[in-house]
Structures are given as C-alpha cells and as structure tokens.
C-alpha cells in the first residue's frame, strides 16, 4: 500500500506506541485522525502532531459513538488500534481479584468494537493493525490476565482475516517498550527496564518508534494478513 493520501484512524493514538504510529503515518503522507480518552494526552497529541492531524475524544468501549465517528471520517483505508481500554490486572492468579482479570478484557472488546465499526467503511484494499504483546506467547508469573487477553487478540485477528479478505488485518506484538505505560522515572525507570530485558537477546527496552515501524510494515505490505509481527528484541527466544 502506498500510504500517501490514505485516510488513517489511530485509536490510542495520543500516547506511546499509538502516537508514534500516528506520527509515522503522517510523515508518510497519510490523512490521520487520532483518538483517545485522556484529555491530557489529547492535548499532547495536538501539540506533537500539529494542525494537519485530527484529534478526537473517543472511548473504544462506546460502540455507538465510535460507529458515528467512523461514518463521519470514512472511507477508511487504515485502522490502527493501540488502545488498552483501561487498566489491566497483574499479580499471582491465585490471589487475583477476578473482576480485575475480567476487566483486562476491555482491551479485546475495544478491538472487537473498532473492527466491527470500521469494516463497513474500510476500502477494499484497506487494512487493520491491532497491538498485542509478547506475554501472549511467553508468559512470566503474574502476567496471566495480560497473556490471556493477548492470546485472544491474536486469535481474533486470525479468525477475522479469513472473513474479510481481501481486506487485511494483522497484529504487531511488542516486547518491553519504553513508553509512558511504565510510570517510574529516572534511575528507578532505568533499573526496571534493564532488569525486565536482562534475559532478552537484545538487552534493552524497545522504542515506540521501533514498534511503529512494525505497524507501518503490516500496513504497507499487501501480502501480509492474519499474521502476528513480533517487535520484542528476541524476548520470545530462550
């Protein structure tokens, strides 16, 4: 796909990986609209991306308003959903509040809602990219909820790819990425990221821009669908 002039929507596009993807799409000449829930992040996105990018408040769990927004913005060539849908539960499964485990699936429901709302407006050569994570296939202790949701996202992608072809859908699966998702600062942040990636083949955290590059690959390569693209510094390998 030649991205120049294409209409792109990036959900969760006001921070982290989504913001980096929106910036990359803009740089490639796409007509970009980013959506998010946080007023602070919406303001940051306006400042970072400039006046040529549309910025709208949107909750991915609000199906009705998302359907209206997509109808207004269509036709859609590219949909990227990097929204988490809200907090996700971590910690030992045996002691976990199962409401927290269930709540982690807001990410999946946000993805399902966005794909369902976008399909009537997606062009015949259009594509969708969702964001999973390496715990889906290599789960550390305490990450059972995030791993299970990631598995569901990747399975959803494969199932939907069969139904919507020649429209395409793919997943990009990041490893440990240095984004605002981790709240620590200074030395504490450096120590955390160093420890978290100590056993990876590439012993550092990735950047949002490196994940955005994977998203751009999934968008621009017309022969890739139903796939999961890993951008994880070798986290899945022994």
Predicted local confidence at residue 89, as pLDDT: 92
Confidence category of residue 4, pLDDT binned at 50, 70, 90: very high
Which fold does the domain 7-231 belong to in CATH? Answer: Rossmann fold (3.40.50)
What does the chain come to in residues?
238
pLDDT tens digits, one per residue of 184-217: 888 899 998 999 999 999 999 999 999 999 999 9
Tell me how many degrees the CA angle 178-180-183 measures, rounded to the nearest 5: 100
Instruction: List, for residues 32-46, the tens digit of each pLDDT value.
Output: 999 999 999 999 999
Determine the pLDDT at residue 85: 85
Domain ranges of the chain: 7-231
pLDDT score recorded for residue 183: 78
57-116 pLDDT, tens per residue?
Answer: 999 999 999 999 999 999 999 999 999 888 889 999 999 999 999 999 999 999 999 999
């Amino acid at each position: 796909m030649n991205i120049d002039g294409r209409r792109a929507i990036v959900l969760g596009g006001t921070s982290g990986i989504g913001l980096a993807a929106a910036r990359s799409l803009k740089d490639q000449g796409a007509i970009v609209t980013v959506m998010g829930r946080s007023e602070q992040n919406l303001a940051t996105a306006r400042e970072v991306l400039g006046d040529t990018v549309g910025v709208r408040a949107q909750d991915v769990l609000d199906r009705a308003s998302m359907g209206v927004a997509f109808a207004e913005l269509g036709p859609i060539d590219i949909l990227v959903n990097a929204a988490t849908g809200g907090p996700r539960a971590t910690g030992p499964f045996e002691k976990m509040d199962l409401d927290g485990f269930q709540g982690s699936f807001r990410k999946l429901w946000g993805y399902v809602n966005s794909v369902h709302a976008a399909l009537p407006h997606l062009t015949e050569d259009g594509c969708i990219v969702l964001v999973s994570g390496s715990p889906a296939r290599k789960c550390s202790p305490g990450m059972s909820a995030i791993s299970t949701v990631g598995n569901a996202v990747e399975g959803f992608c494969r199932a939907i790819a069969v139904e919507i072809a020649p429209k395409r859908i793919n997943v990009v699966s990041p490893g440990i990425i240095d984004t605002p998702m981790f709240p620590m600062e200074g030395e504490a942040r450096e120590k955390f990221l160093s420890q978290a990636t100590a056993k990876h083949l590439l012993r550092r955290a990735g950047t949002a821009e490196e994940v955005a590059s994977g998203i751009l690959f999934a968008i621009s390569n017309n022969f890739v669908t139903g796939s999961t693209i890993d951008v994880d510094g070798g986290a899945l390998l022994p």
